[in-house]
Copies of this chain bind each other. A is one copy, B any other.
């Protein structure tokens, strides 16, 4: 793999940015990687663990001379970051982001950027429930999708270059229109996250079932919900507030369907339940065939020692 950008600036040093750094280094995709985080503690940690070639004390310093700037902050902070770095962006630089919502980011960021940069929003569909500068790892994006969401009039060469960069970090790349992205993600990510958060909150609330019982017996299904519901609270707050309409629409459909299944349980309509559960099984098969999960029977349990 050869160098694709001479200098990459990562603004915000959490799970995604730190994974990007290790993936860039693995493949030698950048001459230099600079980094900036608002919190001094995060900058100190980054310096201690060798995250970024150079950690800067201001965003302005980090973006100076960079031919790629990637904003890796919660969606709600993107506009402010864009305003802060705008005066210091090099002519011809590409500015991108990794936010989970795209229409709101385009709206918040676009107006701040000068005409002499290429703004190409992006969203890598990868993550874990961990956050912070120490949570990243080089393989996070391997075989995962990164969606590029170009705005009108995007320079084809700049777009192609960013796509090569993400492929170099291990990702598969697709292009998508912003509103469609936000709807697809509401289905595959945002609504499931809110539902998982809700179910974990309900379990935590129930006084007749103690916390220790919920935790001890979590392997029966609840465990997968808790992993999802352990994701970064600030990031997810911003996702729901900025992808409000699509998320509420999907949740409305979800509630309607849930009520129908509850009614089937109440009236003892076993055929309805069986048919529904048979249909959902087929989707799982498709995901395994698409290489987005493993069907190993002891999935995820091998590392749990006795």
Residue among B197, B219, B225, B293 making CB contact with A292, cutoff 8 Å: B219
Looking at the assembled complex, report how far the CB atom of A86 sits from the nearest CB atom of chain B, in whole angstroms. 25
Cα distance A255–B257 when bound, in Å? 12
Cα distance A293–B195 when bound, in Å? 20
Binary per-residue interface labels of chain A (195-216) against chain B in the complex, 1 for a CB within 8 Å, 0 otherwise: 1111111111110110111111
Task: Verify A258–B265 contact, CB threshold 8 A.
Answer: no
Residue among B129, B190, B198, B295 making CB contact with A258, cutoff 8 Å: B198
Can you list 27 A-B contacts (CB < 8 A)? A128-B299, A184-B217, A188-B221, A189-B222, A190-B221, A192-B221, A195-B195, A200-B284, A203-B283, A205-B257, A215-B286, A218-B292, A219-B292, A223-B287, A224-B225, A230-B280, A230-B283, A230-B285, A231-B281, A233-B273, A240-B273, A241-B268, A244-B265, A244-B266, A255-B258, A292-B304, A294-B300
Interface on A for B, CB 8 Å cutoff?
A: 76, 100, 125-130, 135, 137, 139-140, 142-145, 147, 170, 174, 183-185, 187-206, 208-209, 211-231, 233-234, 236-238, 240-241, 244, 247-248, 250-251, 253-255, 257-258, 261-262, 265-266, 268, 270, 273-274, 276-281, 283-287, 290-301, 303-306
